[in-house]
């Protein structure tokens, strides 16, 4: 794979990229009868980032994605995707946005190569399907029927179909649901390589592990509203999460060396082991302070308050597990 | 607000050609369409004629001087069309819908309507193949009298197809909108449609043998009108206006209903 494979038509004017957010959703509302799925939602997705949308089941994630991709008509609010309205500029949005939908299967007897060619023929600037199949590890399965594929390969194919049109934006709903840990890791690496080519990626998930591993920024949605938006570590610290760092110092040092750091709240010693507790991004500060005193920390362990805990606090629903049961 | 210029419109003809090719492969791998739309009607021609009724080829007064075979030729041609329209097409679309494949197509520049167009193209090809085979086997092997008016045959079949395929989409649309939108439900509804339309075409009792009142009712149904028009071409004339007008009216009504009710998701 080569850099730029998926992006032949990069905008000439770089300033424009900053002026036009990739996704700009304002005041989005969508109801189904009495059920309010999305309630006055704002969503800002910037160029080149991997943006996560997380929330408990029924929080309105999929409805939001369906409105963004033009599958559903919003009740109110404005949506701009790459500067286009998904309702009135359908054709533009569909050419430029690659979508992976939840629960979308293909005809059982369609071959991998066939469906790649088929979807490739839908787009004016499609990528080379051989290269794409190679990149996604599908090349040796080109002749296989869809129904013969494992869950992991089906997922890869569905990602391939989202990318075959050389999109500027990829929206991936339930990216790794149902995959084994190995396949998830591979998929995440793949998404990062897609982003490295300049494609903005929106990942809809309810796996906190996925958010932590993959997303630059994340919006937490609950009951159709955005309850938080920021980097995963911002969310963790916003919700009062703490970090514990333990290590064996290479030599003696005074507690005050670390205790005076702004993010450190406490320091304990258990025999040889030093345990520092604090908030935010204290680990770097600690390592630098130790280094300044000529001390090397050994056997370092860092435990962060989990994003999962932050998620449960934010959505105020400690009984429901945000994990999708795979992790 | 300006955008990076694309200047490229979706290559729809290329997508359509690829859809037709893919659908054709799928139809060969899962040959329900071929079996029901082509195999069955052709098999029936052979069975009717080889069947132990030697008199099948003799003219019968009750049939206005035509032989039973002559009467069944048009019936079987229409049967091929209604099999494709009522059982093959709805089943396939409902299966695709259940899989989420139609939804998947809806977020591409192409959309599911082009898939429907590709399927109609393939079923048209199967239908034409069936009708040609029925005529060839019937005429060469068993002295089936062929429609004498080729324009009459073509116009009748086109109008019949224009009435029957939307007629299949309309109840399918209703079914999807209301009750369980499954392939099974689509199969059941299509099965009923197939039975009723086959009956009206005279598959069990040729229309010419029916009492006048019943017969004139049957000739107001899509399949009855199609068979009547096809029989009208046997003498070498263009069919009379009435059955063609009936077919055209059904085509308009069912198309409007199908557009109103059918939803891709």
pLDDT tens-digit map of B22-62:
999 999 998 888 888 888 888 887 777 666 455 666 777 77
Ranges of residues in chain A whose predicted pLDDT is under 70 = 1-20, 239-241, 280, 305, 317-327
* B40, B78 Cβ separation under 8 angstroms: no
Do A124 and B10 make contact, defined as CB atoms within 8 angstroms? yes
Q: What are the tokens at B159?
A: 């109008």
Q: How close does chain B come to A288, measured CA to CA in Å?
A: 46
Cα A180 from Cα A276, distance rounded (Å): 35
Q: How close does chain B come to A309, measured CA to CA in Å?
A: 34
Run of H or E residues at A51: strand A50-54
**Inter-CA distances, B33 with B81, B95, B168, B171, B173, Å:** 11, 14, 15, 20, 21
Do A165 and B3 make contact, defined as CB atoms within 8 angstroms? no
* A50, A172 Cβ separation under 8 angstroms: no
Q: Which residues of chain A are within 8 Å of residue B115 when distances are taken between CB atoms? A: none
Do A101 and B107 make contact, defined as CB atoms within 8 angstroms? yes
Cα B163 from Cα A206, distance rounded (Å): 48
**Which tens digits make up the pLDDT trace of A255-279?**
888 888 888 888 889 888 999 988 7
Cα B111 from Cα B66, distance rounded (Å): 48
Cα B127 from Cα B120, distance rounded (Å): 10
Nearest chain A residue (CA) to B6: A9
Q: How close does chain B come to A247, measured CA to CA in Å?
A: 51
Do A104 and B103 make contact, defined as CB atoms within 8 angstroms? yes
* A39, A224 Cβ separation under 8 angstroms: yes
Per-residue DSSP letter, A6: T
Give φ, ψ of B251 to 5 degrees: -60, -45
Q: What are the tokens at A104?
A: 């979308």
Give the pLDDT confidence score for residue A311 in this predicted structure. 78
Cα A101 from Cα A317, distance rounded (Å): 26
B3 touches chain A (CB under 8 A): yes
* A171, A100 Cβ separation under 8 angstroms: yes
pTM above 0.80, yes or no: no
pLDDT above 90 (res B235) = no
3-state SS, chain B, equals: CCCCCCCCCCCHHHHHHHHHHHHHHHHHHCCHHHHHHHHHHHHHHHHHHHCCCHHHHCCEHHHCCECHHHHHHHHHHHHHHHHHHHHHHHHHHHHHHHHCHHHHHHCCCCCHHHHHHHHHHHHHHHHHHHHHHHHHHHHHHHCCCCCCCHHHHHHHHHHHHHHHHHHHHHHHHHHHHCCCCCHHHHHHHHHHHHHHHHHHHCCCCCHHHCCHHHHHHHCCCHHHHHHHHHHHCCCCCCCCHHHHHHHHHHHHHHHHHHHHHCCCC
How big is the A-B interface in CB pairs under 8 Å?
91
With CA atoms as reference, report the closest residue to A222 among A29, A58, A31: A58
Q: What is the mean pLDDT of residues B229-238?
A: 83
Run of H or E residues at A68: helix A61-68
Strand partners, A225: A222
Give the pLDDT confidence score for residue B5 in this predicted structure. 42
Instruction: Of A16-20, B151-155, B156-160, give the lowest mean pLDDT range.
Output: A16-20
Cα A242 from Cα A277, distance rounded (Å): 7
Residues in A lying within 8 Å of B, measured between beta carbons: 9-12, 16, 20, 69-71, 82-84, 91-92, 94-95, 97, 99, 101, 103-107, 109-110, 114-115, 117-119, 121-125, 161, 165
Cα A245 from Cα B161, distance rounded (Å): 75
Give the pLDDT confidence score for residue B140 in this predicted structure. 79
3-state SS, A71-92, equals: CCCCCEEEEEECCECCCCCHHH
Give the pLDDT confidence score for residue A175 in this predicted structure. 81
Give the pLDDT confidence score for residue A319 in this predicted structure. 44
Give the pLDDT confidence score for residue B46 in this predicted structure. 79
Q: What is the DSSP string of A256-322?
A: HHHHTSTTEEEEEEETTEEEEEESSSHHHHHHHHHHHTT--EEEEEEEEPPHHHHHHHHHT-TTS--
Give the pLDDT confidence score for residue A52 in this predicted structure. 94
A-proximal residues of B, 85-104, CB under 8 Å: 95-96, 99-101, 103-104
Q: What is the mean pLDDT of residues B125-135?
A: 89
Give the pLDDT confidence score for residue A15 in this predicted structure. 46
Number of neighbours of residue A4 by Cβ within 10 angstroms = 11
Q: What is the DSSP string of A32-43?
A: ETTEEEEEEEEE
Q: How close does chain A come to B116, measured CA to CA in Å?
A: 15
* A217, A307 Cβ separation under 8 angstroms: no
Give the residue, A327 or B110, on which the prediction is more confident. B110
**Inter-CA distances, A229 with A44, A74, A220, B3, B182, Å:** 9, 22, 6, 28, 40
**Which tens digits make up the pLDDT trace of B166-179?**
888 777 666 655 55
Q: What are the tokens at A100?
A: 């992976």
Q: Binning pLDDT at 50, 70 and 90, where does residue B145 land?
A: confident
Most B-contacting residue of A70, A122, A144, A171 (CB-CB within 10 A), to test interface: A122
């Amino acid at each position: 794979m080569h850099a730029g494979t998926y992006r032949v038509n990069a905008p000439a004017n770089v300033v424009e990229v900053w002026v036009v957010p990739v996704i700009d959703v304002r005041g989005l509302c969508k109801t189904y009868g009495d059920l309010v799925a999305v309630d006055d939602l704002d969503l800002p997705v910037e160029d080149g980032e991997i943006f996560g949308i997380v929330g408990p089941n029924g929080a309105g994630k999929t409805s939001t994605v369906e409105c963004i991709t033009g599958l559903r008509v919003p009740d109110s609010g404005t949506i701009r995707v790459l500067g286009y309205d998904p309702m009135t500029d359908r054709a533009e949005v569909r050419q430029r946005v690659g979508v992976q939908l939840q629960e979308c299967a293909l005809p059982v007897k369609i071959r991998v190569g066939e469906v790649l060619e088929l979807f490739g023929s839908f787009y004016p600037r499609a990528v080379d399907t051989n290269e794409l199949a190679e990149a996604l590890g599908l090349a040796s399965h080109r002749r296989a029927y869809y129904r013969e594929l494992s869950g992991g390969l089906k997922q890869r194919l569905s990602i391939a179909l989202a990318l075959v049109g050389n999109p500027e934006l990829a929206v991936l709903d339930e990216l790794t649901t149902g995959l084994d840990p190995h396949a998830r890791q591979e998929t995440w690496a793949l998404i990062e390589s897609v982003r490295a080519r300049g494609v903005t990626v929106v990942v809809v998930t309810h796996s906190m592990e996925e958010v932590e591993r993959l997303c630059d920024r994340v919006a937490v949605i609950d009951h159709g509203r955005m309850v938080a938006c920021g980097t995963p570590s911002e969310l963790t610290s916003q919700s009062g999460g703490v970090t514990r760092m333990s290590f064996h110092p290479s030599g003696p040092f005074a507690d005050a060396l670390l205790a005076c750091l702004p993010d450190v709240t406490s320091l304990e010693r258990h025999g040889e082991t030093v345990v520092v507790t604090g908030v935010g991004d204290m680990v770097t500060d600690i390592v630098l302070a130790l280094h300044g005193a000529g001390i090397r920390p050994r056997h370092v362990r860092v435990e962060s308050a989990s994003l999962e805990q932050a998620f449960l606090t934010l959505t105020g629903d400690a009984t429901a597990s945000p994990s999708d049961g795979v992790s | 607000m300006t955008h990076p210029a694309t200047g490229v419109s979706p290559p729809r003809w290329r997508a359509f050609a690829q859809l037709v090719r893919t659908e054709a492969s799928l139809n060969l791998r899962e040959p329900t369409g071929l079996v029901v739309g082509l195999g069955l009607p052709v098999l029936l021609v052979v069975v009717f004629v080889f069947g132990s009724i030697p008199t099948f080829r003799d003219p019968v007064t009750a049939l206005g001087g035509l032989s039973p075979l002559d009467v069944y030729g048009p019936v079987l041609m229409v049967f091929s069309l209604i099999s494709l329209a009522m059982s093959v097409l709805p089943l396939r679309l409902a299966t695709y819908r259940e899989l989420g494949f139609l939804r998947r197509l809806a977020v591409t520049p192409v959309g599911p309507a082009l898939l429907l167009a590709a399927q109609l193209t393939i079923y048209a090809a199967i239908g034409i193949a069936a009708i040609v085979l029925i005529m060839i086997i019937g005429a060469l092997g068993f002295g089936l009298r062929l429609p004498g008016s080729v324009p009459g045959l073509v116009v009748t079949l086109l109008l019949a197809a224009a009435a029957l395929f939307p007629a299949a989409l309309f109840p399918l649309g209703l079914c999807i909108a209301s009750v369980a939108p499954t392939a099974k439900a689509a199969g059941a509804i299509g099965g009923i449609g197939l039975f009723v339309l086959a009956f009206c075409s005279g598959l069990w009792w040729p229309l010419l043998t029916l009492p006048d009142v019943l017969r004139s009712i049957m000739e107001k149904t899509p399949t009855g009108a199609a068979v009547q028009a096809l029989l009208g071409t046997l003498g070498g004339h263009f069919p009379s206006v009435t059955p063609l007008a009936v077919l055209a009216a059904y085509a308009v009504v069912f198309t409007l209903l199908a557009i109103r009710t059918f939803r891709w998701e």
